[in-house]
Structure 1
Amino acid sequence: MPAPSAPYDQPAGARCDFAVHLEPVVDEVMTKVLATYPDGSTKREAYVGDLVFRVTNTATGASVDVDLSGNAIVAYQPGGTLITNSTWYLVGPAMFGFKEGGGDHPRGLWVFDGVYTVAFDAVAYKTVTIYHGTERNVCDDLS
């Protein structure tokens, strides 16, 4: 089933020092539920497909297209969501926003690529474990 991404905005200071607009320019991501809990809620699901986001510094107009076409399996704890009580198992590029104090990385729009996990706790604190790969803060590309 398609899993479309919506454009969104982040004000200055939320992820980057400046306001950013993020918009998908290629979005062919599909999702499939792989397992459910007895109550029917999702236990595990897969995400695959091409995804490219354009990230724009709205103050300067500078933009960068970011390939986020990684593959993911998301495992949910009971009652979990994509950003709480879940663990993402990823291969390939994906981007995660970090607010100040919101995870084990400084504030920014971080692109991870390789083999890694991103674990979300009950309050959406993110912990990234990179087994093999790279990371970069897209905010630095647009400064």
Structure 2
Amino acid sequence: MRKRILGAVVSAGLSVAAFPAVASAVGPAVGPVGPVASAVSLVAPSGTAGGWTTVTYTSRDYAAGTVCTYELKEDFPTQGVQERIVSAYPDGSPRQTDFRGPLIARYTNVATGAQIDEDLSGKGTLFDFPDKSSLWVIPDNFGLTVRAGDPYHAQGEYVLSQGSVVSVSPTGQIAIRYQNKVTDVCAALS
């Protein structure tokens, strides 16, 4: 299983959070449903405690200049991601969420029609902390959206593969703690 869109909509919408519904917002800082106000977006799904539940990712459209210099559209022609809340805090909010399954993201440069498909399938674990920061540990693949204004990373759409560790601060800034291979989607479609 490869490239997986996990992340947090650390922006105003989960990019990698829309991740199951891949494009939703991130839990504490990463997750698919719940913006974390930042310049970065990681996509990841939300779910219920207990067993595995299916995550649904929705299409995303980024205006020119917000992620790439051109308008970028992201669709998910193949989905099968599941999530499972492994542990929760006393208030019921997730502490550890595991993800697994197939996911293909199709990125389109709206101006030129150029497209690429990236395999975001695999597995990963999201740790949400009480201070609203989070940590993604992904042995497989991960889709990462960085919006304009992030002070630590150039804006863009990236696919991290072959293992990565990404942290998201309570205010939404991301830090890539470990990575192997990176695909710059914006450059590939320019």
Q: TM-score, normalised by structure 1?
A: 0.91
Q: Which runs of 5+ in 2 are unaligned?
A: 1-52
RMSD across aligned positions (CA): 1.3
Structure 1 partner of 2:70? 18
1:142 aligns with 2:142: no
1:34 aligns with 2:120: no
Q: Structure 1 residues 105, 60: CA separation in 2 closer, same or farther (over 3 Å shift)?
A: same
CA contact (8 A) 1:103 1:126 kept: no
The percentage of counterpart residues that share the same residue type is 26
Deviations 1:38-88 (A, max 9, x none): 1111100001000001100000111101111131100001263xxxx1110
- Note the 1:1-143 alignment, pairs <5 A: 1-78=53-130, 80=132, 85-102=133-150, 104-130=152-178, 133-143=180-190
Q: Secondary structure at the match of 2:166?
A: strand
Q: Secondary structure at the match of 1:139?
A: helix
Which of the two has higher C-alpha Rg? 1
Q: Which runs of 5+ in 1 are unaligned?
A: none
Greater CA drift, 25-34 or 121-130: 121-130
Whichever residue aligns with residue 15 of structure 1, its letter is V
Structure 1 partner of 2:46? none
Q: Secondary structure at the match of 2:188?
A: helix
Q: Secondary structure at the match of 2:129?
A: strand
CA contact (8 A) 1:103 1:127 kept: no
Shift of 1:103: 5.6
Q: Larger % of strand: which?
A: 1
CA contact (8 A) 1:95 1:112 kept: yes
Shift of 1:115: 2.1
CA contact (8 A) 2:138 2:165 kept: yes
Structure 1 partner of 2:45? none
Q: Secondary structure at the match of 2:187?
A: helix
